[in-house]
Structure 1
Amino acid sequence: MATTAQHTTTLALAHALSAAESGFPVIPLSPGKLPALRSPHRNEPGGDVHPCRGECGLPGHGVHDATTDPAAVRALFAAAPWATGYGIACGRAPHQLIGIDLDVTPTTAGATAAATEAGATGVSTSAASTATDPTPDSVVALQQLAFQHLFTLPETVVVLTPSGGRHIWLSGPAGVTVPNSAGRLAPGIDVRGAGGYLVGPGSVTARGAYRLAPGSAGLTPAACPRALLRLLTPPERGRHAGPGGHRGRPAQGHGLVQFVLAAHAGQRNTRLFWAACRAYEHGFGDSLAPTLVDAAVRTGLTEREARATIASAARLTAGPA
């Protein structure tokens, strides 16, 4: 067993070094897809959401540790011999990587896998769909967005996930910040941008391996279509502020809290995560977090569970390094 684990880590390092050589900043990941190195500030006030992003000089700052330097990559993996995969930082030069994560539900996982094999780099999956194996909702949603906003996805890198989903890699223009989001673009579509990361192909997780889709080998991320880029970069917050600038925030925060309070058993954690993501995306996550924790506890979650979920939302929607 130890030999197998060591082999998996060695392969992960090899894949990570190859990605770094191609200009993709990388970090080691645990089997749970989280950064393998724990925060050096975990016992300090702030814990997982400590403001330090590596300025202290110690490893363990998640995506902010990402590097293309081979010696630094080896050092990170040497400090995390349990790593079985690697993450690729998005929004960083030279590729300015943007990840379009098409998620699936268990009932459509088989459909996505078949669709990906048939046409992984396109939006259309009609050739892979049948009456008994429907196209996943996230793919349908992306098809609708492409039709409504008149764009076509170019041939680009696509990574197949163990759950049957796929990650579409695109390149953004320098100087444009694409934020992370979960379900904002459409249900089942998450976006990985500045401050986020994608699990790299060749990684092994608790759920299985990530691998390049057929035809992706040798490709680099294609430029993101302008129409899609506009959807990924919301207007500046000031344009949506009501009279008095930020005075619209409390009402919005109140709605998110009510959304959490209305959760039933089986949806409490999901609703809390969604609400926290929206709050952090709009810049008031930290101030609303205590109220969200209180609301989640009232629905039946423990305080520890609530804080962990909100910390995950904070990490997902973190700003650029």
Structure 2
Amino acid sequence: MATIDRQATTLALAHALSAAERGLAVIPLSRTKLPALRSPHRDAPASLPCRGECGRPGHGVHDASTDPARIRELFAAAPWATGYGIACGLPPHHLIGIDLDTKSGADSSAALRELALRHLFTIPPTVVVLTPSGGRHLWLSGPPGVAVPNSAGRLAPGIDVRGAGGYLVGPGSRTGHGVYAVARGTAHLAPAACPPALLRLLLPPPRPRQPASPAAGGQHGQGLVQFVRAAHRGQRNTRLFWAACRAYENGIGPALVDSLVAAALDRGLTEREARATIASAARMTGHRP
């Protein structure tokens, strides 16, 4: 059974509530940096594709909330929690975490500087969180409708990326190795916009465009439209962006815009949100919206 450190839990809750006031959705974490609440489906005979639709806590980052009452409920259900995680990819900040690790033995800070020189970008002043192992988390803000995937070492050795579906350990959290803390002079900052050149490196490379016959294009296009229509709340922008990227990569983007917008409207997005997401996909795949 987990040891309960009530003082650490109280401090973690206070820090989590403070983060929520800044628009950051949070979950309680244990000393191991893992979500403190176990899945309510752990004893089910087969893994259920539930992301919190059942209404019970224990779905990891899908429990993340900015509602103070909900956050207190989550911490009350996990009195052994000594930290909190901040969900990435959610509005209003669409947080992207650049984790400069030290445990791998690689000089991750030097690797990031080399990338910046090679691809002509600079990291703007932003929130920096110091980890107990001597690493740093850089907080950046991504554009709406763009889902940055999580990765470990893909950008460069020692650099991990936390994006949609991932989380960062929040400052003030206590783990088995020590306490996470905001670097001096950055606590008052908001997450800075991710430089476009860096954002392109964080996203998967677009697949090569292949000319498609009208019949194949129409069939593929309808599949993309249905993919958007099947989106649940919380997936709508991500699915729309993915489908639009695939449409532009396959040369059917302009012809599919109205159908994708209609599918997005059917799932509850506004026309303005849908067209902005599709325009982002067009730019990201090298097309003019």
TM over 0.5: yes
Letter in 2 for 1:231: L
**1:32 Cα shift?**
0.3
> What residue number does 1:82 align with?
80
> What residue number does 1:97 align with?
95
**1:45 Cα shift?**
3.8
> What residue number does 2:241 align with?
none
Deviations along 1:5-63, one digit per CA (max 9) or x if unpaired, are 1111000000000000110000000000000000001112445xx42100111100000
Alignment equivalent of 2:116, drawn from 131, 142, 146: 146
Residue pairs, 1:152-171, within 5 angstroms: 152-171=122-141
> What residue number does 2:13 align with?
13
**1:102 Cα shift?**
0.4
Whether the aligned pair in 1 keeps the contact of 2:152 and 2:160 (CA below 8 Å) is yes
Q: 1:58 to 1:144 in 2, by over 3 A?
A: same
Alignment equivalent of 2:182, drawn from 187, 212, 220: 212
Letter in 2 for 1:51: P
After superposing on structure 2, the runs of 4+ consecutive aligned residues of structure 1 that deviate more than 3 Å are 240-244
**How many Å separate the matches in 2 of 1:75 and 1:241?**
49
Q: 1:142 to 1:45 in 2, by over 3 A?
A: farther
Q: 1:43 to 1:105 in 2, by over 3 A?
A: same
Give % identity: 73
**How many Å separate the matches in 1 of 2:114 and 2:45?**
45
Letter in 1 for 2:12: A
> SS of the residue aligned with 2:65?
coil
Alignment equivalent of 1:185, drawn from 155, 159, 179: 155
> SS of the residue aligned with 2:117?
helix
**How many Å separate the matches in 1 of 2:71 and 2:27?**
7
Whether the aligned pair in 1 keeps the contact of 2:4 and 2:80 (CA below 8 Å) is no
1:61 aligns with 2:54: no
> What residue number does 2:39 align with?
39
**How many Å separate the matches in 1 of 2:163 and 2:138?**
12
**How many Å separate the matches in 2 of 1:36 and 1:3?**
12
Q: 1:141 to 1:243 in 2, by over 3 A?
A: farther
> What residue number does 1:176 align with?
146
> SS of the residue aligned with 1:14?
helix
Unaligned stretches of 5+ residues in structure 2: 213-289
Letter in 2 for 1:206: G
1:70 aligns with 2:74: no
Q: 1:150 to 1:72 in 2, by over 3 A?
A: same
Deviations along 1:116-166, one digit per CA (max 9) or x if unpaired, are xxxxxxxxxxxxxxxxxxxx5111111110010000000000000000000
Letter in 1 for 2:86: I
Letter in 2 for 1:7: Q
**How many Å separate the matches in 2 of 1:46 and 1:30?**
26
**How many Å separate the matches in 1 of 2:186 and 2:109?**
19
> What residue number does 2:165 align with?
195
Q: 1:46 to 1:143 in 2, by over 3 A?
A: farther
Q: 1:27 to 1:146 in 2, by over 3 A?
A: same
**How many Å separate the matches in 2 of 1:16 and 1:38?**
19
Whether the aligned pair in 1 keeps the contact of 2:4 and 2:79 (CA below 8 Å) is no
Deviations along 1:232-275, one digit per CA (max 9) or x if unpaired, are 11134xx159999xxxxxxxxxxxxxxxxxxxxxxxxxxxxxxx
Using the TM superposition, name which of 214-223 and 66-75 deviates more: 214-223
> SS of the residue aligned with 2:81?
coil
Q: 1:171 to 1:106 in 2, by over 3 A?
A: closer
Whether the aligned pair in 1 keeps the contact of 2:121 and 2:195 (CA below 8 Å) is yes
> What residue number does 2:230 align with?
none
Q: 1:46 to 1:223 in 2, by over 3 A?
A: farther
Whether the aligned pair in 1 keeps the contact of 2:3 and 2:80 (CA below 8 Å) is no
